[in-house]
Structure 1
Amino acid sequence: MTDHRVFPSPKSPASSGSASPTFPATKGQLYGAAARSIYRPGRRHHRGCCCRLCLWTTIAIFILLLLVAAVAAVFYAIYRPHRPSFSVTSFRLGYLSTTTSGVKSKFSLAVTARNPNKKLVYLYSPIDVTVLASDITVGKGNIPAFVHGKRNSTVLKSSATSSSQPLDSETLSKMKAEIKAKAGVPLKLRLDTKVRVKAGSLKTPRIGIRVICDGIRAVIPASSNAPAIVSMSDDSCEVKTKIKIWKWTFLF
């Protein structure tokens, strides 16, 4: 006998009216949501403003340099500036001796400064005078400030002394040997100052300069009554512009 019973089909979740099951979000979905939340369209605009600011700043600096170069070219064409020149007129050694603590010395010197310019006046600040022996300071002095007129030569006189310049034992031994040597002690004269250039009613800012007079040698006699013999291989001096930036000094 055949069974004619009909079994009902299973109901689908949609037809049953019940809610669909939920599943946790994947890592990719979480990272994507985080990325979308971090994205800020305004930052691109901010970067664009910074780029434009840098560009305009660079252009402004470039234009300023061009203007400075143009002014310098016009100034040179009108005034034809030349550096001042210096030479050692006289250099005398009163005494130079060593002690247990250092060096005692006395120097008398004269330097001739020349201004070769027809239209420029130099305004010098006080000048620091330094006498060096093998790059060791053995005397210090100064020259007062002065105005150096057009096409003018001025003789600057000064004395440099050292009551007791302290030295380490090695340097002191080297200095003693040079004082006793027949060839004499090699000396160097250094002048440090600042100068302003006056052209008519215009004045430039102060510019540092360093004057180096080399080639001086002093032979010290064994007898204290005899004078020292000072010779100069070249009386001319080298003039360099001195610029100090932070802790560094540049000469050119």
Structure 2
Amino acid sequence: MEASKPPNSNTPVAVKVNGGGNASGGRPTSSPIKAQRHGLPHRSLAPPHCRRQRGCCCCCCCLSLTLLIGLVFLAAIAAGVFYVFYRPKRPSFSVSSLRLATLNISDTDLLTSSLNLSVTVRNRNQNIVFLYEDLTVSASSDGVAIGEGTIQGFAQGFDTSTVLKATVSSTGRRLDPAEASRLRKMNLYPLEIDVYTEASIKIGGFKSRSISVRASCDGIEAAVTEANATAAATTTGSARCKVKLRFDIWKWTI
């Protein structure tokens, strides 16, 4: 009986490969790039704690936005209640008298001016007190600044009018040649008066933060009067003043 021959080690062995698997018979693998290329879904590479942080950020943003909307809504309700109970009115300003004592331009375009005026401030509110800081008064003619002055601050009670006197002047200010030429040609000067200050509102024991108050008055014309002339010698025409209040919160202007 012949001994069985050992199998030839050089004889190739056929290995069946299913679906492009590897030679070891394991499940075929594919890279994320190939999966994307063939339209196959793959898991996010972001760690779980990063996804949790993004979720927390979204929750915080939503909560902050909700609180902000709530605060705006409450502020609107408070403003409405305040308006219904107090009916606030802005103060009114008017130029009650004016005298242009001096307006001289030298040959070297140096300006010397002096303007005496009275400004009437009225508080039209029944329950609101205005606490004014120092007022700055400036005057210009045809766009050329001709002087500036200051009025001391004051407190104004309910439904009262206060007359403020000021001297607006300029000494030795050099003008642009074109500005000096325009002023030299005038005998009757159109004037614009600007009053700027800051004021607080007081209601009972409550005192607000300072708000900006600006009054712009135009429609005024004046000629230079003699030294002994009175304020009645000037022409104020149809003088009118516009008052604007500016709040620092969101820079509201009314």
Superposition TM-score, scaled by structure 1 size: 0.77
Aligned to 1:92: 99
**Does the alignment pair 1:187 with 2:202?**
no
1:206 pairs, out of 206, 210, 218, with 210
**Does the alignment pair 1:137 with 2:141?**
no
Aligned length: 227
**Does the alignment pair 1:68 with 2:75?**
yes
Q: Is the 8 A contact 1:138 1:161 kept in 2?
A: yes
Superposed displacement of residue 83, structure 1: 1.2
1:7-36, Cα deviation, whole Å (9 max, x unpaired): 958333799xxxx99xxxxxx84857xx98
Superposed displacement of residue 125, structure 1: 0.7
Q: Which runs of 5+ in 1 are unaligned?
A: 1-6, 22-27
Percent identity over the alignment is: 34
Question: One-letter code of the match for 1:52?
Answer: C
Once superposed, what is the RMSD of the aligned Cα atoms? 3.2
SS at match of 2:146: strand
1:169-228, Cα deviation, whole Å (9 max, x unpaired): 222222223xxx34x22111110001111111111111101011111112347xx77969
Bigger shift: 233-242 or 210-219? 233-242
Q: Is the 8 A contact 1:216 1:230 kept in 2?
A: no
Aligned to 1:55: 62
Aligned to 2:159: 151
Question: One-letter code of the match for 2:179?
Answer: T
Distance 2:50 2:184 in 1: 72
Question: One-letter code of the match for 1:40?
Answer: P
1:230 pairs, out of 220, 229, 234, with 234
Q: Is the 8 A contact 2:125 2:159 kept in 1?
A: yes
1:38-76, Cα deviation, whole Å (9 max, x unpaired): 532332222222222221111111111111111111111
Aligned to 2:181: 173
Change (3 A) 1:166 1:51: farther
Change (3 A) 1:165 1:242: farther
Q: Is the 8 A contact 1:89 1:235 kept in 2?
A: no
Change (3 A) 1:41 1:102: farther
Distance 2:124 2:228 in 1: 40
SS at match of 2:158: coil
Larger helix proportion, structure 1 or 2?
A: 1
Distance 2:139 2:217 in 1: 10
SS at match of 2:113: strand
Distance 2:55 2:113 in 1: 67
Superposition TM-score, scaled by structure 2 size: 0.77
Distance 2:247 2:110 in 1: 32
1:111 pairs, out of 110, 119, 124, with 119
